[in-house]
Structure 1
């Protein structure tokens, strides 16, 4: 009878260890290198706590508690559009901190689907987001193939020297 209990314990440990690792990763690593936000998708009433990270090509959203190591949603920088800003109203006042604003957004994800919703962010975070979006130039964003071609060119150039 002890052997099945040990096997069950090992199986539970093998299942729970990656889940716990993913949650700790989100709470420690992602939060440290990102901006905290509240997000509400179009058509939903509830807000989700999370974090966003900016890169050269996209905005990655991570739900605060999730079992995924990667981003839950990535929006292409070139397609991201920010709508009008507004003050929180009604039940939004219960979750928004003093001075935070709500801004609507729309953008394409990696599957080319359109994602729409609202972000609740502080004034400094909104300024950073606006600057990041406005600084985007289609000439600055190159595809992965172009990066590979440039890397191959540099490698070939080094070999010639």
Structure 2
């Protein structure tokens, strides 16, 4: 019986450590936002979290999650903004910092992204500044070989 309590204590300690690590590691970097998957009714489904933009990915980390990785990862080229609206009075009651809700689809799913106006502008700017998907990237090894080849 003692072994069972020790095992349960170790499992609880791992969960607490994961929660504390995620809270401090994720919270200090990124942009605060709220996100929910659609379809959703009324005020249900909103999740507080942190959004990080890196290269061609947008990662959303829920604050109340024990996962060591991002909870939602979307490719920049798959995100399409489909609408924008003001937050409703009911939504503002429990998320007072949210002014704008952006509706977008990405990777075959639809989401709502609640944030302040500056964060909304940052998201749209990040999406619009993406390089064209058709852009051909040069292979640096081929270019290096061409630049330093010798004609004998």
TM range, smaller chain: 0.7 to 0.9
Following superposition, the deviation at residue 36 of structure 1 comes to 0.9
Instruction: Measure, in 2, the Cα distance between the counterparts of 1:48 and 1:88.
Output: 15
Displacement of 1:68 after TM fit?
Answer: 0.6
Moved runs in structure 1, 4+ residues, more than 4 A?
139-142
Q: Runs of 5+ in structure 1 lacking a partner?
A: 109-113
Match of 2:96 in 1: 97
Q: Does 1:124 align with 2:118?
A: yes
SS in 2 for 1:97: coil
Superposed displacement of residue 90, structure 1: 4.2
What is the TM-score of this pair, normalised by structure 1?
0.75
Partner of 1:35: 31
Between the aligned partners of 1:94 and 1:118, the Cα distance in structure 2 is 17
More helix by share: 1
**Counterpart-to-counterpart distance in 1, 2:106 and 2:17:** 30
CA RMSD of aligned residues (A): 2.7
Confirm or deny that 1:23 pairs with 2:19. Answer: yes
TM-score by length of 2: 0.79
Q: Hey, what does 1:71 align to over in structure 2? A: 70
Structure 1: distance between partners of 2:99 and 2:47: 15
User: Deviation digits for residues 72-98 of structure 1, max 9, x if unmatched?
Assistant: 110011111122221112421212325
5 Å-filtered alignment, 1:1-161, equals 4-5=1-2, 7-45=3-41, 46=44, 47-97=46-96, 100-108=99-107, 114-137=108-131, 138=133, 153=141
- 1:15 Cα deviation from its structure 2 partner: 1.1
Quote the offset at 1:99 in angstroms.
6.0
CA distance in 1, matches of 2:16, 2:136: 36
What secondary structure does 1:71 align onto? Answer: coil
Could you tell me how far apart the structure 1 residues matched to 2:126 and 2:82 are? 15
Unaligned runs of 5+ in 2: 146-152
Please name the residue that 1:111 is paired with.
none
Contact 1:57 1:141 in 2 (8 A): no
1:51 touches 1:62 (CA, 8 Å); kept in 2? yes
